[in-house]
Amino acid sequence: MSAASETSKRQQLKDLAATLRLVWRASPAQTTWFALTTLLASVLPAANLYVSKLLLNAVAQSVTGGESYASLLSLLGLQVGLVITSGVLSTVQNSARELLGDSLQHQISAMILQKATELEVERFENAETYDRLQQAYREVGARPVQVATQIVGLAGGLVTLLSVGGLMAQLGPLIVPLILLSALPGVYVSSRFGVENYRMLRWQTHDARVQNYFGSILTSDTLVKEVRLFNVEPYLLARWREYYLGFRKQLESIVRRRGWGNLGASLVSALLVGAASALVLRRAAAGQLTVGDFSLFALGIAQIQGTLSGLLSGISGIYQNLLYMRNLYEFLELPSRDLNAGEVWEGPIDTIEFQEVAFRYPLTERDVLRGLSFTVRRGEALALVGENGAGKTTAMKLLTRLFEPTAGKILLNGQDAARFSPRSVQKQMSIIFQDFGQYQMQAGENISLAETERLGDEAGQQLAVEQAGADFVNELPEGLKTPLGRLFQGGRQLSGGQWQRLALARLYFRDASVLVFDEPTAALDARAEFDTIQALREQARDRITLLISHRFSTVRLADQIIVLDEGKVMEAGSHDELMTLNGRYAALYNLQAAGYLDRASQTT
């Protein structure tokens, strides 16, 4: 695939304009200072060369007494003035660039984070989005300011080239073209390998993520116990290293080929400069050039070569940087989901009705829910049971509007939920997921995250703690203000069950009319689970409770039980009805009950 086909020219122009807009918006003042000082500094090389030439000629003349000390001094003064001007300009230029880079970095990070908040939840379950997010984050750093620097540098470079070229043209007609030519091979090599480098990094993104993942297992606080016990370290290290060796091979190949390319370019360049020098020396031998002219030539070569290669590599640099910036734009252009779009739902939810709901995850081939129908009313509890992967959590993701059904309808108080904005419907729901969050923040914050408008509501937090049976919070050194987790200094680590109680408190903290418990008690023992669910039934008398659990002793407390099998309802009814039916539910229930009885008889 050629670099050009990766992004069309038109797209690149658009990206260029977008990048310049980004730079300008980040800081108009710093951008102006930066551009102005760069342009002013670009006439200095020609001025310097010219004054040096005059000074050398004057020195040569003074040897024969043709030039006074005062006139030499005035030329020197001019040269010192130029050095000071250049110092002032470059100081302002560097400061402006540094501040501009910082503003840009902040602005782009904020854009990426904002975008992440607008993405559909399903995007986060998709490896491609992660790759894009990671690539976008990588570009936050220097790229945009590099593009700005390169564009301003192009204008400056042209001014320098024209002014120095004009001075050197007086030395002979072929001199400037020969020197210009000598810079080209080097520029070609660096631009070609620049593009190749870009492609290599892009291909490596996915593998680098996998490699990082292996590294993160080895440095994870939560996994360290399993890793040590099972002695997984050598395997993980080997996998990690295997990826490194793959990257290394690609890098070595690029470095080797680029090395040969640079060598060839230097040889060609040396030959061309040699030819230009021979021409100048011939004129010098014929007495047609002054000492100053020769110094102009010697210093001018480096200046022209440097400026031209700067110019050309600036162009290819802009091109390459825009390829990288595309990653950022691709991420920012991902479709957003406006969670506030739709009518605003107000008031409590009294009934939930699933009508023939089906769902298929994006990019997959299989419906994970098929024809799911049930109704649940305020004051009732409905339990979903079924084997792993039967679709229970997915049904809750649909109810809570994290995803939309692919077929069928969900009615709330008899109205199609799809009409209402997801945010306003979600306000009426509180949930504890299987993989609930363990936020490395204070205990009280962990609870109040369910309603950040009430972050300081300690009485509310305390009530939620009591409802969730999370009394351990009161024993913590600073109570609700105790920082939790191991990530930051001073944090207290909780047990799995304690974290879960805290997540339960978070669920209660939100004043919702629908409570969803997705295996809320997995980290609790059977007795504690039973107590928790019974307490929950008391507290949820005037709400709708939806419960997912693998423990039938808990499930039996629900008014309605739905047995899901491969996304379809297999049986539905109350505990007693399902036991009378003597089907799958009854079989599973009896199996677990026998297990309990068995254990009970062993302990007595």
Ligand X SMILES: Nc1ncnc2c1ncn2[C@@H]1O[C@H](COP(=O)(O)OP(=O)(O)OP(=O)(O)O)[C@@H](O)[C@H]1O
Q: Smallest gap, in angstroms, from Cβ of residue 526 to ligand X?
A: 17
Based on CB atoms, which residue is closest to ligand X, 257 or 550?
A: 550
Contact, 313 vs 191, CB < 8 A?
yes
Helix (H) or strand (E) holding 564: strand 560-565
Q: Smallest gap, in angstroms, from Cβ of residue 359 to ligand X?
A: 9
> Does 435 engage in binding with ligand X (CB under 6 A)?
no
Q: Smallest gap, in angstroms, from Cβ of residue 543 to ligand X?
A: 22
Based on CB atoms, which residue is closest to ligand X, 388 or 452?
A: 388
Contact, 190 vs 254, CB < 8 A?
no
Q: What is the DSSP letter of 343?
A: B
- Tokens 């997010």 identify what position? 133
Pairing label, strands 367-377, 381-386:
unpaired
Cβ neighbourhood burial of 527 (10 Å; 0-12, 13-18, 19+)? exposed
Q: What is the DSSP letter of 451?
A: G
Alpha-carbon span 193 to 196, nearest angstrom: 5
Q: How far is CA 88 from CA 94, 126, 395, 544, 575, in A?
A: 10, 51, 66, 71, 84
Q: Smallest gap, in angstroms, from Cβ of residue 388 to ligand X?
A: 3
Based on CB atoms, which residue is closest to ligand X, 397 or 501?
A: 397
Question: Which residues, at least 6 apart from 386, have a Cβ–Cβ distance to it below 8 Å?
Answer: 392, 563, 564, 565, 570
CA 2 to chain centre: 27
Calculate helix-pair angle for 143-169, 175-218, nearest 10 degrees: 160
Based on CB atoms, which residue is closest to ligand X, 51 or 563?
A: 563
Based on CB atoms, which residue is closest to ligand X, 427 or 550?
A: 550
Binding mask 74-113 for ligand X (x = CB under 6 A): ----------------------------------------
Based on CB atoms, which residue is closest to ligand X, 124 or 260?
A: 124
Contact, 496 vs 522, CB < 8 A?
no
Based on CB atoms, which residue is closest to ligand X, 48 or 394?
A: 394
Distance linking the first and last C-alpha atoms of the chain: 73
Based on CB atoms, which residue is closest to ligand X, 7 or 500?
A: 500
What is residue 433's three-state secondary structure? coil
In residues, how long is the chain? 604
Q: Smallest gap, in angstroms, from Cβ of residue 376 to ligand X?
A: 18
Based on CB atoms, which residue is closest to ligand X, 125 or 416?
A: 125
Strands of 260-321, DSSP E: none
Q: Smallest gap, in angstroms, from Cβ of residue 565 to ligand X?
A: 10
Alpha-carbon span 38 to 152, nearest angstrom: 7
Identify residue 97 by its one-letter amino acid code: R
Chain residues 331-370 in contact with ligand X, contact rule CB under 6 A: 361, 364, 368
Binding mask 379-418 for ligand X (x = CB under 6 A): -------x-xxxxxxx------------------------
Q: Smallest gap, in angstroms, from Cβ of residue 434 to ligand X?
A: 6
Based on CB atoms, which residue is closest to ligand X, 100 or 399?
A: 399
Based on CB atoms, which residue is closest to ligand X, 190 or 394?
A: 394
Alpha-carbon span 310 to 150, nearest angstrom: 9
Q: Smallest gap, in angstroms, from Cβ of residue 121 to ligand X?
A: 9
Q: Smallest gap, in angstroms, from Cβ of residue 504 to ligand X?
A: 18
Q: Smallest gap, in angstroms, from Cβ of residue 548 to ligand X?
A: 6
Alpha-carbon span 427 to 346, nearest angstrom: 9
**The 351-360 sheet, strands edge to edge:** 367-377, 351-360, 407-412, 415-416
Q: Smallest gap, in angstroms, from Cβ of residue 499 to ligand X?
A: 18
Cβ neighbourhood burial of 580 (10 Å; 0-12, 13-18, 19+)? exposed
What is residue 221's three-state secondary structure? coil
Based on CB atoms, which residue is closest to ligand X, 156 or 391?
A: 391
CA 98 to chain centre: 22
Chain residues 210-239 in contact with ligand X, contact rule CB under 6 A: none
Based on CB atoms, which residue is closest to ligand X, 447 or 563?
A: 563
Q: Smallest gap, in angstroms, from Cβ of residue 369 to ligand X?
A: 8
Q: Tell me the site size for ligand X, rule CB under 6 A.
A: 13
Q: How far is CA 604 from CA 99, 435, 525, 591, in A?
A: 75, 36, 19, 20
Q: Smallest gap, in angstroms, from Cβ of residue 564 to ligand X?
A: 7
Based on CB atoms, which residue is closest to ligand X, 243 or 552?
A: 552
**The 381-386 sheet, strands edge to edge:** 429-432, 514-518, 544-548, 381-386, 560-565, 568-573
Binding mask 119-148 for ligand X (x = CB under 6 A): ------x-----------------------
Q: What is the DSSP letter of 481?
A: G
Q: Smallest gap, in angstroms, from Cβ of residue 559 to ligand X?
A: 21
Instruction: Using CB under 6 A, list all residues that contact ligand X.
Output: 125, 361, 364, 368, 386, 388-394, 434
